[in-house]
Amino acid sequence: MDDDEVEVSLLFRSGFKSAEDLIPSRRRAGRSHSVSTEEAMKNSVAWACLRLRADMISTSPVDCYRNLNGRAMSVPTPPVLVNPGGATVDIVEWLYSTQIDLDRFGNTFGVISARDGLRLPSRIDLLPAESVTVLTSGGNITGFRSGSTVYDPSDIWHEKQFTTAGVPVGLSPFAAAALTLSTSKSAQEFAADWFSGSGVPASHLKNTTQILDATKATEVKDRFESSVASGDVFVTGADWEYQVLGAKASESSYIEAQHVTAADMCRFLGVPCDMVDVNEQTGSVTYANITQRNLQLLILNLGPAVTRRQNALSRLLANPRYVKLNTDAVMLRMDPTSRAELNAKLLASKQRTSSEVREKDDLPPFTPEQVAEINAFAAKATQPIPGVFA
């Protein structure tokens, strides 16, 4: 079998059909209902965490710069970072959709449907991550399949997160958690033997040239399972392919088997509990103001994801240009009093001019008439009031 096909939400490759094969069962007696992936995603806490992360990152302004002698010089934003999906899909919608896929599946995909004069992508039409199958050979991506169409890697935009050494696709946060937290040796050796041929998850084994009757299908299945279970080599011709099917179900089984709480869900998805109205039983943290709270969210929770996205988006620009997401504009908004105090300090220390401070508040520079009025008011304020002695 020359090529492997791995589903983007893959959990592990060790011959087990669900996370419960790796994690000691804690299911209550008589409980037969398994939580599906879609049911898990309907969980309000999971949705709140995904929405918060996608909202914050997608609404951060996209700024483009050029490195000139060690200085960051602002450059015009190319159309691909204004309307990456064409006239009807702007950058906010595009970033929101891709961030949701990254946080749910660990990967996001898009078809590069147009290029500019430098052969850089000028339009990227997104694909539903759950519909994409990644074709691999020897640990490298050889293609992407969506429906009946197979795309060359050069024609697909692919971002990933929650990566594991030796695996060319990302993991979903729940798959990454199961991999990290499980005490099973098979799970711990996931990265080492994903492409070693020692086993595969629950899969769809398909003959691409023959129609098999029930007897022949059972024979092939038994031979395949026997080879997989013993870690032996499964020998086929050129007419077989397989597709991973058990990963999403395994993630849901893991969630159920671990009796994941609302606080656990927040930890898996990288959002502080109080940000989505979840009470944390281990204690509480008090912040002086909303700016400090948002700063903690930015640095510890969203910062790494923002950096990864900046590096990925920078691939859309010609060197030495690069992208920065202006997270300060969204996450570090202050109350009016705090903002006025900060602006006063910046002006007094000569780190900002009045025009720069006003620009942050979406105000134009002072006109000559306004400057004259301010100076007149200041001069009048310093004059002694008649009848009052110093």
pLDDT digits (tens, 9 = 90+) for 180-206: 665 444 544 544 444 444 444 445 556
For the ranges 19-23, 144-148, 191-195, the lowest mean pLDDT is seen at 19-23
Q: What is the reported pLDDT for 341?
A: 78
Does residue 283 contact residue 293 with C-beta atoms inside 8 Å? no
For the ranges 104-113, 241-250, 277-286, the lowest mean pLDDT is seen at 241-250
Q: What string of DSSP letters covers 340-361?
A: HHHHHHHHHTTSS-HHHHHHHT
Q: What is the reported pLDDT for 30?
A: 43
pLDDT exceeds 60 at position 7: no
Q: What string of DSSP letters covers 142-206?
A: EEEEETTEEE-GGGEEEEE-S--TT-SS---HHHHHHHHH---HHHHTHHHHTTTTS---SEEEE
Percent pLDDT > 70 in the chain is: 65
Q: What is the reported pLDDT for 188?
A: 43
Q: How confident is the model at residue 73 (pLDDT cuts 50, 70, 90)?
A: very high
Q: How confident is the model at residue 253 (pLDDT cuts 50, 70, 90)?
A: low
Domain ranges of the chain: 4-202+245-333, 338-382
| pLDDT, mean over the chain | 75
Q: How confident is the model at residue 353 (pLDDT cuts 50, 70, 90)?
A: confident
The larger pLDDT score, comparing residue 178 to residue 157, is at 157
Q: Quote the radius of gyration of the chain (alpha carbons, Å).
A: 27
pLDDT exceeds 60 at position 16: no
Residue 164 to residue 179: CA distance in whole angstroms: 10
For the ranges 107-116, 217-226, 260-269, 305-314, the lowest mean pLDDT is seen at 217-226
For the ranges 88-92, 209-213, 351-355, the lowest mean pLDDT is seen at 209-213
The whole-model pTM stands at 0.66
Q: How confident is the model at residue 14 (pLDDT cuts 50, 70, 90)?
A: very low
Q: How confident is the model at residue 356 (pLDDT cuts 50, 70, 90)?
A: confident
